[in-house]
Amino acid sequence: MWRASRTLERARVEPLKRSVRCNVSTLQPFNGFALYEVLLGVAIFAFGVLALGRAVENCINASTLTAEENRVRLILSNRMAEVQTTPGLPDTSKEYSVDTGYGKVQVIQTSTPAGLKDDNDAELAGMHLVRLTAKWKRAGTAQSQQIEFYVYRSG
């Protein structure tokens, strides 16, 4: 019986001890990051946040510019529809202002005979070339957009 209990004692295995990470210069246990590592991580994070902020700012500016140009395009399109549906000859010269959410837009309309000729070199009567020009300021810089179209009025 004594022999069986001794065999059991020898069969007992102790668990392996984990190796402890040590700082090479001081041979003390390594419990965290050094200050320069933390500062480097914070600096990288700060640059990332700044870059992300700049990207968001650029996206907001681009969407504002797109909305402003779409509004001007809509003003010109509406005026073109008015000229095309109004009976009679279009006005030879007309100016008016439209107040948008982005500032005043000045719309200038000019109309001239188109001067188009047919195969026999005869001028086509009743064809008028209409130019619509929109002018506005964006951040103190003059901007403009123009469309041209033909209107036919018989008589």
pTM for this model (two decimals): 0.65
Residue spans of the domains in the chain: they are: 35-152
Residues 100-149: tens digit of each pLDDT: 877 899 999 999 998 888 888 888 888 999 999 999 998 889 999 999 99
pLDDT at 139: 84
Higher pLDDT, residue 15 or 109: 109
Residues 66-84: tens digit of each pLDDT: 998 999 999 999 999 999 9
pLDDT at 12: 65
| Separation of alpha carbons 94 and 108, rounded Å | 6
Radius of gyration of the CA atoms of the chain, in A: 40
| Residue 90, CA distances (Å) to 51, 131, 133 in order | 53, 11, 15
Residue 119: exposure state from Cβ atoms within 10 A (0-12, 13-18, ≥19): exposed
Q: Is the pLDDT assigned to residue 22 strictly greater than 80?
A: no
Pairing type for strands 141-152 and 127-138 reads: antiparallel
pLDDT at 21: 62
What value does the mean pLDDT of the chain take? 85
Residue 108: exposure state from Cβ atoms within 10 A (0-12, 13-18, ≥19): middle
| Separation of alpha carbons 151 and 114, rounded Å | 9
| Separation of alpha carbons 106 and 50, rounded Å | 39
Most confident of 33-42, 51-60, 90-99, 146-155: 51-60
| Separation of alpha carbons 36 and 42, rounded Å | 10
Q: Are 78 and 100 in contact, with CB atoms under 8 Å apart?
A: no
**Which residue spans within the chain are E strands per DSSP?**
93-100, 103-113, 127-138, 141-152
Higher pLDDT, residue 9 or 33: 33
* Backbone dihedral angles phi then psi of residue 119, each to the nearest 5 degrees: -65, -25
